[in-house]
Amino acid sequence: MGDPNGSDYERLAGHTEPLISTGLPGPRGSAIIEADAKVTSPSLPRAYSFVPDRGAGAVIKDVDDNVFLDFNAGIAVCSTGHAHPAVVAAIKEQADKLLHYSASDFYLPIYAEMCARLAAIAPMDGPARAFLTNSGTEAVEAAIKLARHHTGRQYILSFFGSFHGRSYGSISLTASKANYRADFGPLLPGVLHAPYAGRFDSFLGLGRLGGEVAEPDLDYINDVIFKRLAKPHEVAAVVVEPVLGEGGYVVPPRSWLLQLRNLCDAHGILFVADEVQSGIGRTGSMWAMEHFDLEPDIILAGKGIASGMPLGAMVARADLMTWPLGTHGSTYGGNPVSCAAGLATLDLVAGGLITNAGVVGEFLMDGLKDLAQHEPAIQEVRGLGLMIGIELPSPQVADAIEIAAFKRGLLVLRAGDSTIRMAPPLIINRGQAASGLRLFEDACAEGVAVSAGLLSEQSMIRA
Ligand SMILES: Cc1ncc(COP(=O)(O)O)c(C=O)c1O
């Protein structure tokens, strides 16, 4: 007979309400933060003073036993929720068998199994092949290298507002915040940026900043880049997030992505969809590209692909993988334990979590749109599935709401200039979503008041 009170996992995962019993951070959290400040790199962009200890499903406890609803999922990573028993079991089983053998130099069965699964689900007609990495940024690097190698062309186009990672190639594509790039130059040569779906256009004289343009076009690419900077036959790839992630959770109109696809076809340019954040079920489809019914030539995955174990992937049309023996590899990329977690994750995502992401995502989105009717600070609610952005009037208001939510036990995170993103685990249930909505409503009221100076920081509610 099983434990009548359920497992530790079930007990924690079953919370629909947070439970905050100390000030935040609590005493243990404060001590850890103090010790951390002495030894960790000051470059780490800590959002607020959350010190996690144990997670289950969409719920996470901090080191002071405060219980939070996690609408961050470890920044869109813990797709199947924290410590899903099937993922943990797969990790343990693989760890008992084999921790590492480099798949670059030898034949690792589970590596090929993961590649076969990815090739089977890649949103492309015809055969595909995969290259596995430890992270999203390495998948981006692999795509840059493959695109240049295959086409023999040097230029890569990416977009203002986009985020592709922090290694030299990917940071050169990234244009969401100058801070990521500042003082690191020179960056990778041959990278050119264009407006993303009509957003971030005002400084180019093309439209208004941050707002939606009804019919965004590719005039900037055609009239500025191709006429003044680089001929299309010199462009190897366009790297695009089909839903903008760190840059503010922006969903472009299909017509814009279609124009981009057509532009690539017209000039022999490879269409690279960076789905490190939007992929693996987050948007209510396995890939965001499926919402637009468009095929990329190369697709990139990371984050949610292995529920928190380090894994990334570049999946390309098989005919593009013309780079010969020895031209690219990785010691750890596609580590067997990460692959085991990845395979278990794909089973769970395809076996129901995609559907849940769509259903609960719609419930959350509807609730937030209702809230926007009577909370004037909310300027726009947008997204797909469980990738939801809430646009606020300023970074200060967004910050104040983020902190007010944290103090109530709801973890959310800033994105873009003044957006709050909600990216809970795909396993989140309706009760937890409803509770998150209530908490967010309260947090908005407090955040708006705080940023307007009506309440002092000290008088903010402390549990
Ligand atoms: C769209 C996108 N691409 C690439 C990356 C980089 O991934 P990683 O941090 O695993 O290197 C991220 C990370 O946020 C991302 O959102």
What is the residue with the minimal CA distance to atom 16 of ligand 1? 277
Which amino acid is located at 411 in the chain? L
Quick one: average pLDDT of 107-134? 98
- pLDDT tens by residue, 185-234: 999 999 999 999 987 655 555 544 445 556 889 999 999 999 999 999 99
Predicted pLDDT of residue 368? 98
Share of the chain above pLDDT 90, in %: 91
The CA 277 to ligand 1 mean position distance, Å, reads 7
Please write the tens of the pLDDT for every residue from 257-270.
999 999 999 999 99
Distance 2 CA to ligand 1 centre (A): 41
Backbone angles phi, psi at 90, to 5 degrees: -65, -40
Q: In the prediction, which pLDDT does 457 show? A: 53
Mutation pick for ligand 1 pocket among 159, 277, 289 (CB with most ligand atoms within 8 Å): 277
pLDDT in tens, 124-153: 999 999 999 999 999 999 999 999 999 999
**Residue 382's beta-bridge partner residues?**
389
DSSP 246: T
Is the pLDDT reported for residue 243 higher than 50? yes
Report the C-alpha gap between 368 and 131 in whole angstroms: 39
139 Cα to the center of ligand 1, angstroms: 9
Q: Which domains does the chain have, with CATH numbers?
A: 8-83+353-459 (3.90.1150.10), 87-348 (3.40.640.10)
Give me ligand 1 centre to Cα 301, in Å: 9
Please give the number of the atom of ligand 1 that sits closest to the Cα of 138: 11
Q: For position 453, what pLDDT does the model report?
A: 84
C-beta separation of 156 from 240 below 8 A: no
Instruction: Report the candidate in 40, 32, 35 with the shortest Cα–Cα distance to residue 64.
Output: 32
Q: Which residue has the higher pLDDT, 120 or 209?
A: 120
pLDDT in tens, 57-69: 999 999 999 999 9
pLDDT digits (tens, 9 = 90+) for 369-390: 999 999 999 999 999 999 999 9
344 CA from centroid of ligand 1 (Å)? 21
Which residue's CA is minimally distant from atom 13 of ligand 1?
165
Question: Is the pLDDT score of 354 beyond 50?
Answer: yes
Query: Pocket of ligand 1, candidates 138, 164, 172, 309: which has the most ligand atoms within 8 Å of its Cβ, to mutate?
Result: 164
Q: What is the pLDDT of residues 29-80, one digit of tens each?
A: 999 999 999 999 999 999 999 999 999 999 999 999 999 999 999 999 999 9
Measured from CB, residues less than 6 Å from any atom of ligand 1 are: 135-137, 140, 163-165, 241, 245-246, 274, 276-277, 302
pLDDT of residue 199: 77
Which stretch of 117-121, 199-203, 442-446 has the lowest confidence by average pLDDT? Answer: 199-203
Q: What is the pLDDT of residue 214?
A: 65
What pLDDT score was predicted for residue 68? 98
318, 128 in Cβ contact below 8 A? yes
Between 395-407 and 430-451, two packed helices, what is the crossing angle to 10 degrees? 130
Taken in order 83, 88, 136, 249, the sign of the CA dihedral is negative
Its pTM stands at: 0.96
Instruction: Tell me how far the alpha carbon of residue 188 lies from the centroid of ligand 1, in angstroms.
Output: 18
